[in-house]
């Protein structure tokens, strides 16, 4: 029986910055190029700069020269650049309708539609199968997590070496240990280990109350320091994502209670995850722990700032830091075997600081497998 025809796919982007494009081609190209797929046949259009490398790497692809296509396409299309070349090749392949990712460039979409190509955007990834990780992909993520752990360990070692100055500022080798300096130590180790870290979070004290605050200025003793590291591995393109919270010195009793609650909540969430469970269930498990321990989510009466637990419990991880599925109060869907997700509850209270812990687990039929080995300990 003949298989039903699948919609043709079209992308015009750089695979170094587009996860779908890299997933489809498995080659890193820094400049936008054309990709077309129809019933399993894959085509790419490459500039002279990239075509020889592409021919060596993509043996099962149809490789088209952008220069040669331009020589054969209608002259009036030349000014349209890659849009004109894509339209010309689509017509040559007798394709008049394509699926494109929701992020497809608006200008190129308009140009292609003007040339008679019908575009249908997808809601989410052009390759929804990216949500399910193969064994090879899980190994890539494990490698990324090992690199992430090396960065956090370098940061922890620096905190251990630091001493507490007279103004409660942390000092390292005679100079203040700042968020910027500790971030450089972490990112430098990740670079040395084969990854690239961007926007690493080192947020101390009240800065940690904003979950995506990168952190700045001197690090202080006796205050929680959130370290959230999510590098991309240079060779594979896959990401790690781990968060730990440390205190150099003696934490306030409230911070210790927050840390204990977050640790228990994270374990409750992990225990709730298995194949077939709603994506809301782990989030509800976290909220139940916090509620029972008296940690209420609200807005601060004076500043109006959110406090308590006010973000999702986790998200998919892979070629992007934030992928599907999402686990939160408004998420929909079901956790399934081979999903790889973060589990990252946190508590944040202005005037006290923030605490967050994050691991990465693979969903299995009967539970999870935690891919993170880095220990959890608050006091340095």
Which tokens belong to 89? 């090749």
Q: Percentage of residues in the chain with pLDDT exceeding 70?
A: 99
> In CATH, which of 3.90.230.10, 3.30.230.70, 3.30.420.40, 3.40.630.30 is domain 132-370?
3.90.230.10
Which tokens belong to 362? 């693979």
The predicted pLDDT at position 124 comes to 86
Question: What pTM was estimated for this model as a whole?
Answer: 0.95
Mean local confidence (pLDDT), 265-283: 98
The predicted pLDDT at position 4 comes to 61
The predicted pLDDT at position 303 comes to 81
Residue 139 pLDDT greater than 80, yes or no: yes
Opening angle at CA 83, ends 97 and 125, nearest 5: 60
Mean local confidence (pLDDT), 138-160: 98
The predicted pLDDT at position 203 comes to 98
Q: Where are the alpha helices (DSSP H) in 162-305?
A: 179-192, 253-272, 280-292
Residue 2 pLDDT greater than 70, yes or no: no
User: What confidence tens digit (pLDDT) does each residue in 301-342 have?
Assistant: 778 889 999 999 999 999 999 999 999 999 999 999 999 999
The predicted pLDDT at position 301 comes to 79
> CA distances (Å), 63 to each of 43, 67, 68, 343, in order?
6, 12, 11, 42
Residue 377 pLDDT greater than 70, yes or no: yes
Mean local confidence (pLDDT), 97-106: 96
The single residue listed with the structure tokens 């687990």 is 361
Query: How do beta strands 163-164 and 170-172 pair?
Result: antiparallel
Q: Percentage of residues in the chain with pLDDT exceeding 90?
A: 95
Residue 74 pLDDT greater than 60, yes or no: yes
CATH domain 8-126 topology: Creatine Amidinohydrolase; Chain A, domain 1 (3.40.350)
Question: Taking Cα atoms as reference points, which of 255, 287, 257, 256 lies closest to residue 269?
Answer: 287
Q: Where in the chain are the domains?
A: 8-126, 132-370
To the nearest whole number, what is the mean pLDDT of the chain?
96
User: What confidence tens digit (pLDDT) does each residue in 226-272 have?
Assistant: 999 999 999 999 999 999 999 999 999 999 999 999 999 999 999 99
Distance separating alpha carbons of residues 140 and 135, to the nearest angstrom: 9
The predicted pLDDT at position 166 comes to 86
Residue 1 pLDDT greater than 60, yes or no: no
> CA distances (Å), 38 to each of 68, 235, 337, in order?
22, 28, 28
Mean local confidence (pLDDT), 146-167: 97
> CA distances (Å), 274 to each of 18, 46, 93, 340, in order?
30, 43, 44, 11
Residue 162 pLDDT greater than 70, yes or no: yes
Which helix H or strand E contains 72, and what residues bound it? helix 66-72
């Amino acid at each position: 029986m003949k298989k039903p025809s699948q919609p043709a796919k079209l992308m015009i982007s750089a695979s170094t910055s587009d996860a779908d494009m890299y997933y489809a081609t498995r080659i890193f190209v820094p400049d936008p190029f054309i990709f077309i797929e129809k019933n399993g046949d894959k085509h790419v259009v490459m500039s002279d700069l990239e075509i020889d490398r592409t021919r060596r790497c993509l043996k099962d692809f149809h490789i088209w020269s952008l220069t040669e296509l331009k020589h054969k396409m209608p002259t009036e299309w030349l000014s349209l650049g890659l849009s004109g070349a894509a339209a010309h090749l689509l017509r040559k392949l007798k394709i008049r309708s394509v699926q494109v990712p929701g992020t497809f460039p608006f200008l190129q979409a308009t140009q292609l539609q003007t040339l008679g190509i019908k575009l249908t955007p997808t809601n989410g990834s052009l390759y929804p199968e990216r949500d399910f990780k193969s064994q090879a992909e899980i190994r890539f993520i494990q490698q990324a997590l090992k690199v992430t752990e090396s960065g956090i360990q370098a940061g922890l070692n620096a905190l251990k070496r630091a001493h507490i100055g007279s103004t409660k500022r942390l000092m390292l080798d005679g100079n203040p240990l700042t968020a910027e300096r500790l971030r450089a130590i972490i990112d430098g180790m990740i670079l040395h280990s084969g990854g690239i870290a961007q926007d690493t979070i080192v947020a101390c004290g009240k800065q940690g109350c904003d979950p995506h605050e990168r952190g700045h200025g001197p690090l202080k003793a006796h205050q929680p320091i959130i370290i959230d590291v999510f590098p991309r591995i240079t060779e594979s393109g896959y990401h790690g994502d781990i968060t730990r919270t440390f205190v150099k010195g003696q934490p306030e009793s409230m911070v210790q209670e927050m840390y204990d609650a977050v640790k228990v909540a994270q374990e409750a969430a992990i225990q709730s995850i298995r194949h077939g469970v709603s994506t809301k269930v782990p989030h509800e498990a976290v909220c139940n722990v916090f509620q029972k321990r008296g940690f209420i989510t609200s807005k601060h009466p004076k500043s109006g700032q959110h406090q308590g637990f006010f973000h999702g419990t986790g998200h998919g991880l892979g070629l992007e830091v934030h992928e599907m599925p999402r686990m939160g109060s408004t998420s929909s869907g079901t956790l399934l075997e081979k999903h790889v997700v973060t589990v990252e509850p946190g508590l944040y209270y202005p005037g006290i600081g923030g605490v967050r812990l994050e691991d990465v687990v693979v969903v299995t039929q009967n539970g999870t497998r935690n891919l993170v080995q880095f220990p959890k300990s608050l006091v340095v």
